[in-house]
Amino acid sequence: MDSEKIRLNKYIALCGVCSRRDADVLIEQGKVTVNGAIAENGVKIGDGDLVLLEGKALSLPKEHVVLAYNKPVGVTCTEKDEHAERTIIEDLNYDRRVTYAGRLDKDSEGLMILTDDGDLIQAMMKGINAHEKEYVVQVNKKLTDKFLKQLEGGVYLSDLQQTTRPCKTKRVSDDCFRIILTQGLNRQIRRMCSTFGYEVVKLKRVRIMNIELKGLELSEYRELRGEELAELYKLAGL
């Protein structure tokens, strides 16, 4: 951690213990001490401060981890949900707390980026940065050139009262196409297709910025390193 102090709940989250919201609860329960005194919400932590959770010292990881993960259909993008059959954290089963940058709905599969670097997540999630995400989409009937051009030009989604950004498409087969988006509205591709009477049968994300799904099997992950990781940070503006 640099000389700039950060809020205690953020510090606890960065240590990989839990989310900031859950950290607030731990602080309110009196389970956290800073330099021997029971901590209060809002206190800031700097170099040299000793933070204990139920008597156990917390420390920031020396290096951040960034994962590429292949999410299967049926896995829910949430950390905790008693109604979810299987959460992404359970499926990933990683030995360090990480958070995802951008969701995939339960019925979709494919590439996700997970990390314990909050700055990277924020940079990737900022819509103004218009980072590319590529998907392979199978629909329930034959594609037409008109339909693909309509998608590319931007689609008004009445239930969201928003028009999608122009995008790129490429036909793969009679009922399958690739699409590159630069935004991430809720169930965006499904809503776009539905506007023109198409139903999505299968949806897979195959690329986020410079990171590709490559040979990852379902539920598998790989740690990003070297030039690939450096390029991701560069594209994120970090």
Residues β-bridged to residue 212:
207
**Cα 41–43–46 angle (5° rounding)?**
145
Q: What amino acid is encoded at 79 in this protein?
A: E
107 phi and psi angles, rounded to 5 deg: -85, 0
> Which tokens is 98 given?
């990480």
Q: How many Cβ atoms sit within 10 Å of the Cβ of residue 23?
A: 24
Asked if 105 is an active-site residue, the reply is yes
Options 105, 107, 119, 145, the catalytic residue:
105
190 and 200 in contact (C-beta within 8 Å)? yes
3-state secondary structure of 176: strand
Residues β-bridged to residue 223:
67
> Which tokens is 177 given?
């196409």
Residue with token string 């989250």:
13
Residues involved in catalysis: 105
